[in-house]
Chain A
Amino acid sequence: MEAWQGGQYRPLAERDIVRIHEAALRVLEETGVRIGLEEARDIFRKRGALIDGEIVKIPPALAEEAVSVAPRQFLMAGREEKRDLILGDKRVHMGTGGAALTVLDPETGAARPGTLRDVAGIARLCDALENVHFYLRPCIPRDIPPEVMDINQFYAALANTTKNVMAAAQSPANAREIIEMAAMIAGGRESLIKRPFISFVTSWMISPLHFADETTRVLMEVAANRIPVALSAAPMAGSTSPVTLAGTLVQVHAEQLSGIALIQLAHPGAPVLYGAIPSLADMKWMTYIGGGVEFGLMNAAVSQLAQHIGVPNYNSAGLTDAKIPDIQAGYEKAFSLCLCALAGANFIHHAAGMLESMKAVSYEQYVIDDEIIGMALRLLMGIRVDDETLGLDAIREAGPAGNYLASPHTVRFMRREYFLPAVADRRDRESWEAAGAQDGRERARRLAKKILETHRPVPIDPAVDGEIRKRFPILTERERIL
């Protein structure tokens, strides 16, 4: 895949990055982290951390040394090579995210519980959307038994998109099962490790600074299997982290350092994503705020913090607190998507489809967000300045008061320099009214519908699919994916 390079926007000055990093090391040393899981505590204990009950105080030298072993760059593959992502440096990729409970029905527009069909249908939609680079399972299938949920959401996603599929596992056993299924598709464990087209997200941290037992086990299991894993921690400024942006950044950085250190001490070199998602609490409604502009600022800043320690990063942009695909969704998403892309974040999830912060998704919103992401990616191309683009010859030719419409320079560069929107309407009001006066949501809904009717993703090999169905309790009917 084309590598989009960010870094044109730097929310934190160099000295502020260092200050936050130093402060985070002090938090780990002085305040420490709470780890209930004995095997995890032992890993730190053996390397010289101070243990006091469940509190683990990590010396700065230990944290830095452990983190330095993490790979600076790694592959998150697609089932098709053209969908491969190389994570690291300031290369930007954007995709879906969430564990939404609610889906806005594409036909009625009404809010209803998410289903397994949505996990599959949205995967198919996103397989076709060119600016969506990976597929993090967007909604929880509430129509199937929880005990078969993990394997089924991975399957439904893998069967409908060849982009990298990321999701969570509720137990180490479930993670093993998912990896086994993926290995069958890959043609063996080694092939999967070489080209991991699945990845995991683990919300191992209960902010502030408290490791969750079971998720930490899952995290260790995934790392042991050398499958890429994102360390997700999402404190809310003012509630589970300090209200100040800088204070929250200190905390998320400390949390990431502790998690990455644990993995690298246990499994040196395991591919791990620095996964801080600093957010904020609304002080009036006491709700989680994804659409605040501060959310964009902080998530842009965490990619600088991750770059500082040389670990590829996962963060969040594209959330909105709007309930429907309206103007609020438009501006809130645009802010955080532009800020995080320009900051050079590697794996920006939640970038498409989300509404009501992380609680809902909508089919038409994916199409709208594909457009906003496209605009953000255009920003990363920036302004190309060279002898050709300066166009002095064209200017000489046109002369004062001239025109460039028919200039060969125009014909040569017009396609290269401009992003062409699919949702945005650029007609005058009269033509727009004559065509039915549809708003952005309705135009997007129709585009989504067309994709769902016509797009056919590259399927899993039928023989392998048969084997998978024999081995695992797959609930997606075969005819639905063909």
Chain B
Amino acid sequence: MKATPGGQYRPLTDEGTRMIHESALTLLSEIGVEVHSRLAFETFRQRGAECDPAKKLVKLSRTMVEDAVAVAPKRVILCGREEKHDLFCGGKNVYMGTGGTVLNVIDLETGAKRPTTLKDVREIARLCDALENVHFMVLPVYPNDLPPAEVDINRFHSSLINCSKHLMGGIYTLKGALDTIRMAERIAGSPQALRERPFVSFITCVVSPLKIDDLYGDILYHIAKAGMPVAIPAEPLTGATSPVTIAGLLTGLHAETLSGVVLTQLVNPGTPVLYACTATSTDLRTMGYVSGSVEMGLINAGAAAMAQHLDLPNYTTAGMSDAKVVDAQNGYEKAVTAVLVALSGSNFIHDAAGLVEFASTASYKQYVIDDEIIGMAMRAVRGIEVTEATIALDAYRRVGPGGNFLADPHTISWMRREHYMPRLSDRQLRINWEKAGSPTVEEKAVAAAKRILKDHKPLGLPGDLNDLLRAEFPEIRP
């Protein structure tokens, strides 16, 4: 996909960025990280980190961090199964897509909230395959109708047959991760072919503050060993699992995600890894988690700036809302965070489509609405092109004072390139809008989602390949 660079918005000064980085290095070397995964702990120990087995504490020196950052790839290409969906993560290139994982969905037919199933995994994948501003899919929902052991492979398989964009997913079991990699290798044709064009990737996490737990440490170890792309987010919450100040949160986040980056590079130098942030703020009246706060946007734009400081590709979060319905709050919360983080030049902005209610619930119609918001944010990132042709002195000479540009050839040749055409936003006069029955954005989004689910044919997998997969992985549901 054509890369659109951001960076027109700078949430941190150079001095601020440097201070946060230095403070995080102090944290890692002085306080250290609790590492509960034995595999991870041993890796750190064998490579010379200062370790305290009784406390499970690992202290990382400045050199260790700097060495890992130096060998980590500066550019990570997250591929689609079709080349047009390839994402060139790194620098200030901006891509936006879905996020999860949630347990509930707003049903498209009834409008009611209900638990998600494997059918939702499929249908949301198909919907996102068709939405042109959704650049990638982070697997958004959990199939509550499957036994836990079958969740990972089915989430990926169901998404693969419905969406040819890059698929990144959280993972629940180590076996699930390894099976998914093996399945993807079959689809790619060989292990080598998958490493060359990785169309799946994974998310593990560091627990804030400063803890690598047992399961995610092990999974991260194995994914790195397999050389597959992985994002390592930490989710500090201001005042709860991080200091209440944004600078304090970014310091902790920076230390946490870097501890994961270091681990991957120790396990397998050159592992494609994304510096990652899913941090947000809490509401100080209740100390409850919020996802649509303006500070959330500042935090994630700040995280992108910290990753850029080290020239590491990054994964951040934006475009969420705490609203329960399709209302004004839903619109402004999503837009504020989406545009901030996009303009800061973050590479892989997830959770930007489809979520409502603190990112706790997916909603079909919301994917269509957010596709529009992302389209606008990306138009802002594309910015103002200033060239002789766009300045258009010749058009002025033709039109003159008091004239009109409507019929000028310059207008015809540039209108589509310069102006984003919304699908849902209404631009009619009130009188015409009322004559049309005062259609709401929500109604239009529901109709669009239904139309896509009825008509859209994804790339899918060849039938014989699919048969082979089912034979090798009997857990795959029909």
Contact = CB atoms under 8 A, between A and B. Distances in A.
Interface of A: 8-13, 16, 19-20, 23, 26-27, 30-34, 55, 102, 111, 206, 208-210, 237-247, 249-251, 280-285, 287, 289, 291-294, 296-298, 301, 321-323, 325-335, 338-339, 342, 356, 359-360, 368, 371-372, 375-376, 378-379, 382-386, 388-392, 394-396, 398-405, 407, 409-410, 413-415, 417-421, 423-426, 428-429, 432-433, 437, 439-441, 444
B425 A389 contact: no
7 pairs of A and B residues whose beta carbons are closest in the complex: A330-B331, A391-B248, A391-B243, A334-B335, A385-B16, A247-B392, A331-B331
Contact of B328 (A240, A323, A327, A383): A327
B398 to A, nearest CB: 10
Given A331-B376, A392-B23, A395-B209, A426 B441 contact: no
B335 A335 contact: yes
B62 interface: no
B426 A251 contact: no
A392 B26 contact: yes
B323 interface: yes
A460 B326 CA distance: 43
A330 B331 CA distance: 4
B248 A394 contact: yes
Interface string B402-438: 1111101011001100111010111111101110001
B238 to A, nearest CB: 7
B120 interface: no
B376 A335 contact: yes
B8 interface: yes
B405 A419 contact: no
A417 B286 CA distance: 15
B331 A326 contact: yes
B389 to A, nearest CB: 8
Given A282-B427, A385-B15, A385-B20, A440 B327 contact: yes
A323 B284 contact: no
Nearest to A16: B386
A417 B245 contact: yes
Contacts of B419: 237-238, 243, 280, 283, 292, 294
B42 to A, nearest CB: 18
Given A242-B392, A325-B328, A407-B239, 14 more contacts: A16-B386, A209-B401, A243-B410, A246-B392, A328-B331, A333-B332, A338-B336, A338-B339, A389-B248, A395-B27, A401-B207, A424-B323, A429-B357, A433-B324
Contacts of B210: 399-401
A237 B405 CA distance: 8
A465 B266 CA distance: 79
B328 A441 contact: yes
Contacts, number: 403
Contact of B395 (A247, A283, A356): A247
Contacts of A334: 331-336, 339
A293 B379 contact: yes
A19 B379 contact: no
B251 A239 contact: no
B268 interface: no
Interface stretch (B125-133, B174-182, B291-299): B291-299
Interface in B286-340: 286-288, 290, 292-295, 297-298, 302, 322-336, 339-340
Given A292-B420, A415-B284, A297 B380 contact: yes
B248 A323 contact: no
Contact of A293 (B251, B326, B376, B390): B376
Nearest to A382: B11
Contacts of B292: 424
B302 A383 contact: yes
19 contacts: A9-B8, A16-B384, A20-B391, A239-B405, A245-B390, A280-B419, A292-B419, A296-B380, A321-B427, A323-B434, A331-B376, A334-B332, A335-B339, A335-B377, A379-B297, A391-B245, A398-B209, A409-B245, A433-B324
A56 to B, nearest CB: 9
A432 B324 contact: yes
A322 B327 contact: no
Nearest to A374: B294
Of A240, A242, A413, which is in contact with the most chain B CB atoms at under 10 Å from its CB?
A242
A410 B395 CA distance: 59
A33 B402 CA distance: 8
B343 to A, nearest CB: 6
B322 A426 contact: yes
Contacts of A245: 384-385, 390, 418
Nearest to A365: B328
Interface string B88-110: 00000000000000000000000
B454 interface: no
B440 interface: yes
Contacts of B57: 400
A238 B335 CA distance: 26
B281 to A, nearest CB: 6
